Chain A
């Protein structure tokens, strides 16, 4: 199954920033990628899934969940069908796997295709 491809694992110091990418792969998937909402989901070690928010590249709309607003930024490069997650002011609690997921349904109600995940480790 075609799925987005995410950037590799990162190890960061507390207080620094990290930028994770999520790129469409496969011709048909790439052609439509910018039309879909792409959400970011965090999963801390041994914990459940947390929705961080989403971006709709074609209309430039960005939505952040309350718990993440202010420290995360979603951006998109439509020319390469790539979306980005940037987290600033990293702390140990941000150690997690970050997934991008394509929204399904007319309003991205569910997530029908997930990236493989990017492990971000925050450690001094």
Chain B
């Protein structure tokens, strides 16, 4: 089955830039979507189709992709960005939706 690999944790100081990666051997041929989940809350879509932001999501959050790695970048990190972040793709072979294991972002 399709596997997406994320680092378990990323730490960053306030005001700095956080990068969260998502790797998979077929990422280059599909779109990547990102979700933010704060403790006790449902996930929220923050990036879709690699780089698009839903309305209401700050421009500080951006997505990119190169080869088989997608990246979520959070600029000027704030305490309120502390959350779990998940990448997700559509597997065109199985027609399944697949999540990465998640990355816990800690703001120091």
- The residues of A with any CB-CB pair to B shorter than 8 Å are 1, 3, 39, 41, 48-51, 54, 63, 65-66, 99, 101, 104-105, 107-112, 114-117
Contact = CB atoms under 8 A, between A and B. Distances in A.
Interface stretch (B11-19, B20-28, B48-56, B67-75): B48-56
Interface residues of B, number: 25
Contact of A99 (B43, B88, B97): B43
A111 B102 contact: no
A51 to B, nearest CB: 4
A112 B98 contact: no
Interface in B67-108: 84, 86, 88, 90, 95-102
B87 to A, nearest CB: 10
B49 A105 contact: yes
Contacts of A111: 33, 35, 43, 45, 88, 97
B21 to A, nearest CB: 16
Contacts, number: 65
A49 B102 contact: yes
Interface string B28-65: 00010101010000111100110000101000000000
B1 interface: yes
A76 to B, nearest CB: 18
Contacts of B86: 48-49
B4 to A, nearest CB: 10
Contacts of A50: 99
22 contacts: A1-B56, A3-B42, A39-B97, A41-B43, A48-B99, A50-B99, A51-B99, A54-B97, A63-B95, A99-B42, A99-B43, A105-B48, A109-B33, A109-B49, A109-B97, A110-B48, A111-B33, A111-B35, A111-B45, A111-B88, A112-B45, A115-B42
